[in-house]
Structure 1
Amino acid sequence: MTETTAHTGSTTLPVPAAQAELPRSGWLRVRATDQAMLANIRRQYELELDQQVLHPVYENHFALLPLDLPLPDSPGSGSGDPGTVFTGARILVALNDELLITVEPDHPVEALATAQTRIARLPESATTREALLVIIEGLNDAMQDTVDRISLVLNRLADEAVDSSGGYKIGGRQVGVADIAQTAVSLGGAEELIARTVQGQLMLERVARRVRRSSGHAAQEYSTLLSDIQGGRRHARFQHAKVRNIQQSLMTTLDLKQNQIIKVFTVVTAVFTPPTLIAAYYGQNFANMPELALPWGEWFVMGTTAIFALVPLAYIKRKGWLR
């Protein structure tokens, strides 16, 4: 039989999912896929927790507070594609004066496990709003970790952008358009992740503001928590500005490379156009061509062709167009 866990003060109680009497106080953790438990909550608390909640609402004396956060997937992984080291966590919080319910994703959320340990050490007199404060603090710390790891990814991408602007990688291979495009794709993924992070921090802030209104003596702690969340959001926006700067640098480098390619083709055209005209002239089938009778006629044509090829090249080099 599937079981969930109710947390009451410092006590952890196993609660059967189907038709059991659920606790009236403490912290009740439920998996989003546990339909039996959700049905039991619907029967006993008259709460629909399997619905899509997009913004805070009130239902049957409970405040329903949705959270959608990009959290670190595997600790210690700070490189690679940004989209592969973070997992979205949808959490629905239901709160009243006696009971706190969290509907969580199937994959484990480390921040909630840490919060569970901290809540177990709270005094028996702790309220649900004080328990929720610990949970939001843990989730905010995880979001800060997300931003820090995004920063590490961006540092690597910034190094790649520097390689691109220099023209060569460390191994000596020239940086091509494909390398720049791959870096740009990674930057796009990082930008999307930062946007989701800022959105998650805004949701955390909205939940904290809602709960602070009725948190009594914990209002000051919630105000401090709001300051921490806002500071984390400023850090995330700084990372977003860094993404934009790197993207601008890459686009400038790409434009320079494209201009360089066009310049090479222009120089080649300028150098080979005069010899092509000479070859076209002497390729005509005229009845009388005096140069054909000259013993040094071939050398004359070859020398003329070389002169007309080198003169445009010397002019272009003198103007500095080859740099």
Structure 2
Amino acid sequence: MEENTVIAAPEEARELPQHGWIRVRASDTEMLASIYRQYGVRLDLPVRHPVEEQGFILLPLELPLLDTADGGTGTSFSAARILLVLTGGVLITVEPDMPIAALSAAQERLARDSAEVTSAAAIQKILEGLNDAMQETVARISLVLNTLADEAVDSSGGFRMEGRQVGVADIAQTAVSLGGAEELIARTVQGQLMLERAARWSRRVNGASRAEYSTILSDMQGGRRHARFQHAKVRNIQQSLMTTLDLKQNQIIKVFTVVTAVFTPPTLIAAYYGQNFANMPELALPWGEWFVMGTTAIFALVPLWYIKKKGWLR
């Protein structure tokens, strides 16, 4: 088998090349063992931060990528853990079992642009593809946040389109969805920071100039700023929901206050005439019942009129 090619399956060769890009699944223990025998680097151990081993630089990536199970049209995301293993001549990517569309697209571009695949060219295409995938993640998050913002507006208005009044449970459900979006954005920002770190390490390993990586680093930084803008949007929606929730709670308390103010005077009158006094002259009057009923109505309507005049019912 020729060198400077991308190896997609371990069955193609036992002798691994010294140049090019080698793709391997994290669950392929046989291929990982072959890499350890030939290169002396173990890739089956968890890597949390960049390390150097046997002349290789191990760069872990954990990226929330759009789930391609539904054709990439939904809003579900999966955490893709990718390990980039760099040296001067060979690039190894340890990938999860789930397909990573960005890596497959990078492999296709390399095959189309050049017959010879070098590790330097491969890592640039990989970083560009993964950065584009992260940009798509942020774009989908933005769509989700637009929907949640509309729900927050409905909550502030008090009614949904069905005419049903928005309750605390609806606001709580929107708040839970916002919490999930905030966690996803945080992991997106972390993933883009890891991509930037991988780009700087690969530039150092390959001896590339700063200009060669300036565009991709600028794109990564721009994507991170976009993600942080989405995070600020989440905070604004959350603040709006909390304000709406406070207003609803105040509205509930106000209703109980008005009801108490209206019914307290009639309750006092009813309590008075419920006493067992020996002499109550108005009981002998022929219009005594109407007098009590009228008095009760007046004492109930006067507080209601006063509250309405003050504008406390709005």
TM-score normalised per structure 2 = 0.94
Q: Secondary structure at the match of 1:224?
A: helix
The equivalent position to 1:15 in structure 2, one of 6, 10, 15, is 10
CA distance in 2, matches of 1:16, 1:56: 29
For residue 77 of structure 1, what is the aligned residue in structure 2?
Answer: 73
The size of the alignment, in residue pairs, is: 312
Pick from 211, 223, 228: which aligns with 2:219?
228
Per the TM alignment, residue 242 of structure 1 is displaced from its structure 2 partner at its CA by: 0.5
Matches within 5 A, 1:1-323: 9=4, 14-16=9-11, 20-74=14-68, 75-78=71-74, 85-124=76-115, 127-217=118-208, 219-323=210-314
Distance apart, 1:123 and its partner CA: 3.1
- Aligned-partner Cα distance in 2 for 1:77–1:176: 31
Task: Give the letter aligned to residue 127 of structure 1.
Answer: T
- Percent identity over the alignment is 72
Once the two structures are TM-superposed, the CA of residue 288 in structure 1 deviates from its matched residue by 1.1
Secondary structure of the residue that 1:121 maps to in structure 2?
helix
Q: Which amino acid aligns with 1:308?
A: F
Letter in 2 for 1:59: E
Partners of 2:8 and 2:67 lie apart in 1 by: 28
- Cα–Cα, structure 1 residues 157 and 227, in superposed 2: closer, same or farther, change >3 Å? same
Task: Render the CA deviation track for 1:52-71: whole Å, top value 9, x for unaligned.
Answer: 11111110011101000000
Q: For 1:307, give the aligned amino acid.
A: I
Judged with a 3 Å threshold, the aligned counterparts in structure 2 of structure 1 residues 110 and 185 are, in CA distance, closer, same or farther, namely same
1:200 deviation in Å? 0.1
1:124-182 C-alpha deviation (Å, 9 max, x unpaired): 55531221010010000000000000000000011111111111112221111111111
- Give the conservation status (yes or no) of the 8 Å contact 2:4–2:19: no
The CA distance in 2 between the partners of 1:290 and 1:34, in whole Å, is 101
Counterparts of 1:247 and 1:77, CA distance in 2: 26
Counterpart AA for 2:11: P
CA distance in 2 between partners of 1:22 and 1:114 (Å): 23
CA deviations on 1:82-107 (whole Å, 9 max, x unpaired) are xxx10000000111112111110111
Counterpart residue type for residue 166 of structure 1: G
Cα deviation digits, residues 158-214 of structure 1 (max 9, x gap)? 111111111111222111111111111111000000000000000000010111124
Q: CA RMSD in A?
A: 1.9
Task: Provide TM-score, normalisation by structure 1.
Answer: 0.92
SS in 1 for 2:10: strand
Structure 1 CA distance for aligned equivalents of residues 227 and 185 of structure 2: 6
- For 1:95 and 1:86, the matched residues in 2 are separated by 27
Structure 2 unaligned runs (5+)?
A: none
AA aligned to 2:38 is Q
Whole-Å Cα distance in 2 between the matches of residues 218 and 121 of structure 1?
25
Counterpart contact for 2:20–2:117, Cα < 8 Å = no
Q: Cα–Cα, structure 1 residues 149 and 7, in superposed 2: closer, same or farther, change >3 Å? A: farther
Q: CA deviation at 1:35?
A: 1.5
Contact 1:91-1:102 at 8 Å conserved across structures: yes
Rounded Cα–Cα distance in structure 1 between residues aligned with 2:235 and 2:168? 19
| Conserved 8 A contact 2:7-2:23 | no
The whole-number CA distance in structure 2 between the counterparts of 1:56 and 1:202 is: 13
Q: Which runs of 5+ in 1 are unaligned?
A: 1-5, 80-84
The separation in 2 between residues aligned to 1:200 and 1:293, in whole angstroms, is 87
- Contact kept in structure 2, 1:272 and 1:309, CA below 8 Å: yes
